[in-house]
Amino acid sequence: MVLIAPSLLAANPACLGDEVKQLENAGADLLHFDVMDGHFVPNMTYGPFILRKLKKITHMPFDVHLMVDNPEKIIPWFIEAGADIITFHLEATSQPDELLKTIQNAGIKAGVSLKPNSNMKIISQLNRTPDLVLVMGVEPGFGGQTFRPDTPQRIVQTKQLCPSALIEVDGGINQKTAQLCIDAGAEILVAGTAVFENGSYKKNILSIKGDAQ
């Protein structure tokens, strides 16, 4: 069964703790925690201090997506803060194998992320196998973007290149695009607007899961 990871980028930052509790009660499987530095992507979001505080109020795993330059500098911060999954972009570092090793040695799942125009063959050149590959359905940086139609094909190609890894998809996920992704092999769907719209979190999560069975 597909897992739904609501993106906290779409949550109300004025009451983030309450949002997390509502998502847990609504049946979310894990929480997608976007980290942006204003350099790798033109936006800025949450840091490890927020993650550490939120970990105290929920049992849901935190899926930390680093959209930052030089992720090796901040990965230790998020390990210490309690991340359950840490994903970084291959274009942001010159030492992806070392980063995978650092994350996995800490007992945390390690992932790599692919932007729409990333060279997917880099995955097959890694010496260390990631636990997860995050396929972006949009350009990283902002929520509410339109799902790119080539995403399902890229999911299939990713699974072929890294068959042992979980495939996660982020960007443009809604009740319609969820089915396309799951048919292509996605196992975790990150959804922002589609979960938070109208305030009906449980209904929205069930709708996305229902269409993706």
Residues 171-180: tens digit of each pLDDT: 999 989 999 9
- Based on its alpha-carbon atoms, the radius of gyration of the chain, rounded to whole angstroms, reads 16
Percent of the chain at pLDDT above 90?
A: 86
Candidates 29, 34, 63, 131; catalytic one: 34
| Domains (range + CATH), the chain | 3-211 (3.20.20.70)
The model carries a pTM of: 0.95
Question: Whose structure tokens read 């291959």?
Answer: 90
Tell me, yes or no, if 29 is annotated catalytic. no
Decide if pLDDT at 211 tops 50. no
Tell me, yes or no, if 34 is annotated catalytic. yes
Extended beta strands in 7-91, E state: 31-36, 62-67, 85-89
pLDDT at 33: 98
Decide if pLDDT at 38 tops 70. yes
pLDDT at 165: 97
Candidates 29, 37, 131, 170; catalytic one: 170
pLDDT at 58: 97
Decide if pLDDT at 149 tops 90. yes
Gap between the Cα atoms of 34 and 44, Å rounded: 9
Residues 117-126: tens digit of each pLDDT: 999 989 989 9
Task: Pick 87 or 139 by higher pLDDT.
Answer: 87
